[in-house]
Amino acid sequence: MRKFLAALILIFSPVLALADEITIAALGDSLTQGYGLPPEEGLVPQLQAWLDGQGAGVHLLNAGVSGDTTAGGAARVGWTLTPEVDAMIVALGGNDLLRGIDPAEARRNLDTILKAAQEAHVPVLLIGMRAPGNYGPDYKAAFEANYADLAQAYGTLFLPDYFAGLGEGDPAALQRWFQPDGIHLNAEGVAKIVAAIGPTVLDLAARARAD
């Protein structure tokens, strides 16, 4: 009988593991999409490999669109949140900064995204962007505050700076983690970002399982 029960466990354990798998959509721009990198070296594939190494039971969906602003994310969040999506990573705002978009407009768009996730009962990890100083201190403060304020309002998991995993120091020294355009990360830079955000993605998966 013990051998029979053991055989049943071996047969059905893959099915049980599949049933417990969490699907997380990564809603973002070219940094999420993997611009300029071989498919296996982008953010989503590297993060998937990291999660697999942790035995996380997570399947990532790449919902990154190169060039997308927060407005683009707001426009497509509805069809990103398909029934199989259990949680969502939101990493948008870099293109808003490149275009100097009004922080109030970016805030409205992020609010739309988070509200859609809340209505779908999908937990979120919101990843912020640090604004450069060339737009002035008021712009910088307002833009960065969007993320912290909305994360608190919606009770999301929150990382204030997408690039924090690269470390502090001389900006010129950090360029070794970027492609020649100085905007998009190279494979080694992506790996550092994955190592920094991975533990919080595990927390996100845990939230999704608890819901």
Residues with Cβ within 8 Å of 157's Cβ and at least 6 positions away in sequence, in order, are: 123, 124, 125, 126, 151, 200, 203, 204, 207
DSSP E strands: which ranges in 116-165?
Answer: 124-127, 157-159
Is 138 annotated as catalytic? no
Q: Which helix (H) or strand (E) holds 64?
A: strand 58-64
State the catalytic residue, choosing from 29, 68, 86, 184: 184
Is 13 annotated as catalytic? no
Q: Using CA atoms, how far apart are residues 157 and 45, in angstroms rounded to an integer?
A: 22
Q: Using CA atoms, how far apart are residues 110 and 92, in angstroms rounded to an integer?
A: 8
Is 59 annotated as catalytic? no
Residues with Cβ within 8 Å of 71's Cβ and at least 6 positions away in sequence, in order, are: 105, 109
State the catalytic residue, choosing from 20, 138, 170, 181: 181
State the catalytic residue, choosing from 29, 30, 68, 96: 30
Catalytic residues: 30, 181, 184
